[in-house]
Chains A and B, each alone.
Chain A
């Protein structure tokens, strides 16, 4: 990346940067935004629910205010409460992070209409409304001539209408909630027999999850790749693309591991996808950071899937390969600055892979595993970035998404990025709660993954197969574990009453313990 620093400084002077930003979020992303603000010399305001009083983002912020009970609808989704805090503390802008209110057009509009106007760091409410409904987005893209997955552009009104549409598209078809996301209200239908039940199930799930039962049909692309393009648009009419992210590693339609660039995408395909992404953004008059998601079939045809009108969880992989700071740029764009570089200056260097570390138990059907973090050892070293929202001793609450941290490996090429990430995962240790760290060790060691043979069905296939070699390796360490377990017990055995024999084993242990204590080791 080549910055024209002198030009950037001129622009910075021409606009007034915010002096205080409120972060309407929690967890690792709130900490990430606080870091960007600190670097820009902007004061930070955290908001927190009752259970988050001791959360990391509260510890790291300059100011912090309570916004209500644990339930997200009464706290992190409470528009009135958050705006009242912003007005009272004099915040000039709000960064919504991802999730919660980040894609809520009503919130963006309420910020603009507040008594003391507040800048929403993100796109306009109007752009969000176009992209917030998958059917509306399809209609807009149809007009702009964007390639998208064949299907209907409005919700099915009746089973007969759905049946007719499905026949026309050809089975298998995918049913999707118009307001959807995160795999909710989604059903894959292989034959006409199953359509009716699947439609009803998808509609009721959509109604429950989003308060909107609209479900439409798409031709199912089997085991596609999920590749997305990062874009940035300023408020002066410039839009650029920053390369793609490969997000095919998913479980139950939730991303688990992301990387950039994609092994599938060559420079020509990147340029074509990037140009389509820019057109998508322009069709929605889009400003700030956004992501255009594509499905890619086995012949490398790509289809517009949806646009995420916010910062993505996986933005760090793009930051590492472009050398850009997306949150920094989001804030500067919101302050009215022009993009400090052109499309030609965007260069991709190296490779980055991100693991989403969740509080969940891979050995027990991925049950969420909230609770107190008894021990936490974070990895470090060359090419390793850890964006974390937790610390040792913190109790992960049950009330929110179980994402603890994101661990990202960067290297000159994919093999080095993977090697560094695998090394860092060995260093990463969490006790007290279960995490999916072991799952990532398995993925990174898998031959098919290393060869880049991945699609959206990859992870389910890997999980269904038996882990190889793990049991033998475990046998080697079982003897050491037995000795260690006995040692831990021996170290805790109190000295026998009445015994003052200095050579007694229990006394010896206690002496050892005492020594360790004096040396500050215990």
Chain B
């Protein structure tokens, strides 16, 4: 009846039990609060059933915040463990629990924080920047979001029921095979990656089509805002890379469930195949994350330098080159596998070539500031620390790309410091910059600048303090993922410094959270009274109101050049009549599909086959039913549009 699920699955050690209890209490409080405020109907009608890209974007960011809490708690536990575990016979966490935590940390942060944050920002901004009313496939967009959420929830469930994977965030076989990991951990990992990965593929297709087909009249490819270009490159990568992930994890699942031998050590299987396949997805994945961050900085720097982006065409080509190269470098993740020197040298050289377009981008940003008027707003501060951290991490990346050097620092904490410098210093800081920069656009009020700056300085100092010692630890021969180590190695002082850095980052994140809630609480005082363009932005999203009305633009704009809002000779505005606007109708089907996928993942993880098959049939039925229906639209009449537009004008006048 319940497959492998027994009462034992609910028993955990002290730390985990506390975490589970905390989660349950918070969940109950949240439900009670919603019930008390009688907000269930509002939640259902306005959010859960929505297909509006702006609301989906905000929901992405809410889920990301929750997953970030989990991932960050994991990170802090790891830092505490490693700072205290010199020669410990009874360390703070047992080795299995520790391994669960670093596996969950990696999977959570990459798949459910970085990816979610990226799709969140893209949902919020891309249709506005290209002057569209919604994405190309609004229903598919909602399905993507709910699949993403379903995957994230599976990871959260694994905290309370059973155990998560202990084989690292990419679950290398044969360790992740059924022979060495017989219990449910790897299945949790695999199902959450599969479900959210399929969602990501859908999103990739959706945004690619949106960008290619839904641009407003006059916006040719080379007149697109640079963030749209960066997203276009990233989405091409998503479409090529994510199917590889789905297929690879699919084969791993076949190995585990049906006893096949794709990646097993014996029976004709080959674990090296998995390495090649997973990194053929994994390396493009890193660029999928960093390209939109580059795009965000390319929007932020010109705006706060009061100068257009230096070398737009060269920036675009640099991104295209990076996107192409990203598929030619995967082997640098395992130089140590013993390939011939020619193979290793080829992939090392390809990796180093990535430095060229990246260097060009950094110079172009710096020369955007040159002869500009630089404003030190918090998005600009994030850019500032991005350049400093990213150049160091890039430099260590070149070191890692040289195979002989890589032999010495591979799988050491040097590597850990390198990719955290990239992912925090590059990706996360980029998304923070974008989050702050566009916050007044999609909410209509500002985020508290003073608190945001405090958070920035905590993150900046904390990042340096937490990861600089790791470079040194790598040089001292410290491998990653150690739950304890011998005191004679002399590593402990540096681990303690790194833990202190972690604490400072914790305060940074705390201040950010508080700043967010404080800004929401003080939203009346912080209101954007400039009619939607507080920073004197130059792209189309600043041409509409803040927050944008449901139809984004009352009139679809026309552009005749790059940076239309800074145009020297803007096209004349004609007095136009409001017209009826057709928008897709809200539907709960996407939510149902997501929920069923989550239950399906849970059921198969615990081998409750009847439930899994039932869910699968349900999903299939829902899809068929939804696709057989005639597409429904809701119409906003010209009269309603006029009323909405006037209400914005009135609101601005009273402010």
Say whether A associates with B.
no
**B residues whose Cβ falls under 8 Å from a Cβ of A:** none
